[in-house]
Amino acid sequence: MNGFNAQQQNNEITKRQEMEEMFNTLESYGWVARLLHWSIAVAATGLFGLGLYMVELSYYDPAYKTYPGLHKSIGILVAILMVCRLIWRLANFVPLPLSNSTAKKQRLEHRAASLVHFLLYALPFALFLSGYLISTADGRPIFVFDVIKVPALFPPSKGLEDTAGLIHEIIAWSLAGFVILHALAALKHHFINKDRTLKRMLWEATNPSPQGTALGSHGKSATVNQIKKR
């Protein structure tokens, strides 16, 4: 009987740990945040490459008939993932920033990082909106993998496709630049600062800190015990 109770207790502990690993802690991101981050990163990189390839296609190229539809479909899926990621971020605690720099330099780094993070959320939504306007400029809906229809919310507008297309291109290149900057900053933290900034977004174990505070979704701080209660 004691053995059965011990096994049951171990199972409950394991389930509790699995649930806790879903959420962010003071030291690392939960697996949901990581999964959303890397899924969007891979899909967005693919969309960027596909977009570059599409602009070189001629009207008579067989891919001209299929790739734009694929680009739109994946783009809408990424937009949905971005909404999920934003909601998850607002509902979660943000891990504390790591830095070995001086206080002044640390403040500057945190401000720069906050600005880049904001743009990495804002620019994709601007990109989705401009892409939507390109695709629906003639009043026709978007078909996601020929299964789901996304209606055109605005009436046909002459010149809208060209204007939205130019904005789309500018935003895409700007976003690519900030993504590269973001990646270089992560590598700098890993190889120069030698902290866990990069590691905690990779697939490592989530280890809550025994004490400290974390920034909440509304800029408030919470103790570890409060985090666990949530």
Closest CA to 21 of 150, 211, 207: 207
Question: Can you tell me which residue has the tokens 């993070």?
Answer: 117
Question: Average pLDDT, stretch 94-104?
Answer: 77
pLDDT at residue 101 in the model: 66
Residue 106 pLDDT class (50, 70, 90 cuts):
confident
Amino acid present at 216: G
pLDDT at residue 208 in the model: 44
**How far apart are the C-alpha atoms of 133 and 160, rounded to whole Å?**
7
Prediction pTM value? 0.82
Residue at 221 is within a domain: yes
Residue at 225 is within a domain: yes
**Residue 139 belongs to what domain range?**
31-93+101-229
Residue 225 pLDDT class (50, 70, 90 cuts):
very low
Alpha helix ranges (H) inside 92-159: 103-136
pLDDT at residue 10 in the model: 63
Residue at 125 is within a domain: yes
Mean pLDDT (the chain) is: 85
Instruction: Tell me: pLDDT of 29 over 70.
Output: yes
pLDDT at residue 53 in the model: 96
Q: pLDDT tens-digit profile of 40-96? A: 999 999 999 999 999 999 989 999 999 999 999 999 999 999 999 999 999 998 898
**How far apart are the C-alpha atoms of 29 and 207, rounded to whole Å?**
10
Residues of the chain with pLDDT > 70, as a percent, come to 79
Instruction: Tell me: pLDDT of 168 over 50.
Output: yes
User: Can you spell out the DSSP letters for 5-69?
Assistant: HHHHHHHHHHHHHHHHTTS--SSS--HHHHHHHHHHHHHHHHHHHHHHHHTT--TTSGGGGTHHH
Residue at 120 is within a domain: yes
The residues, any chain, with a CB within 8 Å of residue 202's CB and separated by 6 or more, are 34
Residues of the chain with pLDDT > 90, as a percent, come to 67
Residue at 25 is within a domain: no
Q: Identify the sign of the CA torsion 19, 24, 30, 35.
A: positive
pLDDT at residue 229 in the model: 38
Residue at 18 is within a domain: no
Instruction: Tell me: pLDDT of 7 over 90.
Output: no
- Burial of 205 per CB tally in 10 Å (0-12, 13-18, 19+): exposed
Q: pLDDT: is 23 or 209 the higher one? A: 23
Residue at 210 is within a domain: yes
Residue at 8 is within a domain: no
pLDDT at residue 107 in the model: 86
pLDDT at residue 105 in the model: 80
pLDDT at residue 127 in the model: 98
Least confident of 43-47, 153-157, 199-203: 199-203
Q: Residue 92: how many CB atoms within 10 A of its CB?
A: 21
Question: Average pLDDT, stretch 18-32?
Answer: 87
* Number of domains observed in the structure of the chain: 1
Phi and psi (nearest 5°) for 156?
A: -55, 140
CATH number, domain of 66, equals: 1.20.950
Assigned token pair, 1 = 């009987």
pLDDT at residue 227 in the model: 37
- Provide the phi-psi class of 139: left if phi over 0, else alpha when psi is between -120 and 50, else beta: left
